[in-house]
Amino acid sequence: MYHAITTRKTQCVMKLVCVGKEEKVVGLHMQGLGCDEMLQGFAVAIKMGATKADFDGTIAIHPTSSEELVTLR
């Protein structure tokens, strides 16, 4: 939420790494403020074998930076 409502310009870079026809998520790269907190939650999903479709089907919490990961196209 810090990135969404701050008056300062901040940047956060994210990349979801998927493989195969089923687009299984095998990695997640993030850089920016607060990424350490976000990664912990997404690590659980990846450990459980999440796919890109699972991420797409997740309702995003708005306004947050983490919503970008479940709305990536």
Which CATH number fits the domain that encloses residue 35? 3.30.390.30
Look at the pTM and tell me if it is higher than 0.85.
Answer: no
With tokens 């026809």, the residue in question is 21
Q: How many domains does the chain have?
A: 1
Question: Is residue 60 in a domain?
Answer: yes
Q: How many residues does the chain have?
A: 73
pLDDT tens, position by position, 19-39: 999 999 999 999 988 888 888
List the catalytic residues. Answer: 62
Name the residue among 41, 36, 33, 43 with its Cα closest to residue 3: 33
State the residue range of the domain holding 48: 2-68
pLDDT tens, position by position, 41-72: 899 999 999 999 999 999 888 877 778 888 87
